[in-house]
Amino acid sequence: MKQLAKRASVAPSPTHAVSTLVKKLSAEGKPVFDFSTGELPFELPKHVRKAIAKSLKAGNTRYTPVVGEMGTRKAICGYFSSTLGLDYNPSQIVITAGAKQGLYNLFQALVEHGDEVIIPAPYWVSYPGMVELAGAKPVIVDCNASGGYLTPKALYSAITANTRAVILNSPGNPNGIVYTRAELEELAAVLGQFPDIVVVSDEIYRHIRYEKTEVLSILQAAPQLTDRTVVIDGWSKFCAATGLRLGWAAGPEYIIAAMAMIQGQSTSNAVSILQAGLKVALENPLTFLPEWLDILTTRRNTAVTKLNAMSWITCDVPQGAFYVFPNISAVLFKKTADDVSIDTDFLLCQYLLETAGVACVPGSAFGSPNNIRLSFAVDGKTLDDGLEAMAASLALLK
Distance (Å) of CA 283 to CA 72, 75, 79, 87: 9, 6, 7, 16
Q: Are 144 and 329 in contact (CB under 8 A)?
A: no
Per-residue model confidence (pLDDT) at position 191: 98
Question: Within 10 Å of residue 382's Cβ, how many Cβ atoms?
Answer: 16
Residue 375, SS3 per DSSP: strand
Per-residue model confidence (pLDDT) at position 8: 83
Per-residue model confidence (pLDDT) at position 1: 55
Nearest-5° Cα angle at 272, 268 to 278: 115
What is 161-182 written as a DSSP string? TTEEEEEEESS-TTT-----HH
Distance (Å) of CA 280 to CA 46, 52, 167, 247, 286: 11, 9, 30, 14, 11
Count Cα atoms within 13 angstroms, Cβ side, for 207. Answer: 23
Distance (Å) of CA 219 to CA 38, 181, 265, 299: 26, 10, 30, 31
Residues in a beta bridge with 140: 119
Give the Cα separation of 69 and 218 in Å (integer).
27
3-state helix, strand, coil in the chain (%, to 5): 45, 15, 40
Give the Cα separation of 218 and 50 in Å (integer).
34
Q: Are 328 and 337 in contact (CB under 8 A)?
A: no
Per-residue model confidence (pLDDT) at position 7: 84
Those residues of the chain that have pLDDT short of 50 are: none
SS (H, E, C) 252-304: CHHHHHHHHHHHHCCCCCCCHHHHHHHHHHHHCCCCCHHHHHHHHHHHHHHHH
Per-residue model confidence (pLDDT) at position 22: 76
Q: Which residues of 29-41 are buried (b: 16+ CB within 10 A; e: fewer)?
A: eeebbbbbbbebb
Main-chain phi, psi angles of 247, to 5 degrees: -145, -175
Per-residue model confidence (pLDDT) at position 3: 86
What lies within 8 Å, CB to CB, of 2 at 6+ separation is: none
Per-residue model confidence (pLDDT) at position 23: 76
Q: Are 105 and 248 in contact (CB under 8 A)?
A: no
Q: Where do the DSSP E strands lie in 143-228?
A: 163-169, 198-202
This prediction has a pTM of 0.95
Give the Cα separation of 290 and 96 in Å (integer).
27
Per-residue model confidence (pLDDT) at position 2: 76
Tell me which of 3.60.21.10, 3.40.30.10, 3.90.1150.10, 3.40.50.720 is the CATH number of domain 6-43+288-395.
Answer: 3.90.1150.10
Residue 198, SS3 per DSSP: strand
Question: Within 10 Å of residue 25's Cβ, how many Cβ atoms?
Answer: 17
Per-residue model confidence (pLDDT) at position 340: 93
Q: Where do the DSSP E strands lie in the chain?
A: 33-34, 93-96, 116-121, 137-142, 163-169, 198-202, 229-234, 247-250, 323-324, 358-359, 361-362, 372-375
Say if domain 46-283 classifies as CATH 3.40.640.10: yes
Among residues 265, 261, 262, 234, which one has the least CA distance to residue 250?
234
Per-residue model confidence (pLDDT) at position 55: 98
Residue boundaries of the structural domains of the chain: 6-43+288-395, 46-283
Per-residue model confidence (pLDDT) at position 4: 87
Among residues 146, 302, 285, 104, which one has the least CA distance to residue 207?
285
* pLDDT 10s digits, 78-98: 999 999 999 999 999 999 999
Give the Cα separation of 24 and 388 in Å (integer).
23
Q: Are 327 and 371 in contact (CB under 8 A)?
A: yes
* pLDDT 10s digits, 331-383: 999 999 999 999 999 999 999 998 999 999 999 999 999 999 999 999 999 99
